[in-house]
Amino acid sequence: MKLVNIEIERFRSVKNQTGDDSIEFQGLDCLVGENNAGKTNILSAVRFLLREEKKPNDEELFWQKRDDEVVEVRGFFEISSEDLDRIEDVGKRSTVRDVLISEHESYDRVLGICRQFDGEANSSPSFKLLQRVPEDEELRKSSIEEVRDELWKKQKSEKNYSRADYRREMVDRYERLADIIPKDKQRNKGIWTSKHQEFISENEEELALTIGPCLVKREK
């Protein structure tokens, strides 16, 4: 497993180094630049991604010391079959395989991870896996989960709203997802999110996908 790409936002002296400006690694790399150009902070971003900062609430962590914003570092690691085979638990190995992404033409399988720090809201940085998710936010797992929980609560609290009504509304709203869920399971709660990754995999060519979830948006 090796780091092949890193994206940095609002970390120390680096405001935005993402997309075409992201940093690619070839294996044996050298950072070249003038004094105070930000070379050390790029290495610090790699350390921040992989391990906890000693002082996570240090305002120096934030671009221009703006600790009301969100620091975000994303790393992409090339994964080989040998890397996967080192995971002894077959179930965990399958889980990792399911979240692998391939966005770069040079790499077959990539594991994406993200570390964020919101100086105002969090006491410590959060760590997330990156996945390919629909650009349409209504089709994202978190959005489906929110709708599902609301309707599930409704059938628990309203006498005239049954599990059949719950099933009908979920099927009407998420028709393509319902296609891969057996009809006798569609009244269940957890099935609508446990089948989400399978839904993404089976509809990959039709869905517009992006890398996420990661971005934290602060309420204005």
Q: If one looks up domain 2-134 in CATH, what number appears?
A: 3.40.50.300
Please state the domain extents for the chain: 2-134, 138-202
Length of the chain (residues): 220
The counts of H helices and E strands in the chain are 8, 7
- Predicted TM-score (pTM) of the model is 0.69
Nearby residues of 101 by Cβ (< 8 Å), 6 or more positions away:
76, 110, 111, 112, 130, 131, 132, 211
Question: Which amino acid does the sequence have at 203?
Answer: N
Tens place of pLDDT per residue across the chain (220 aa): 888 899 999 998 899 988 888 989 887 888 888 887 788 889 989 988 887 655 555 677 888 888 788 889 999 998 888 888 888 888 888 878 877 876 544 566 888 899 988 876 556 778 888 888 888 989 998 899 999 999 999 999 999 999 999 999 999 999 999 999 999 999 999 999 999 988 988 888 888 888 875 444 443 3
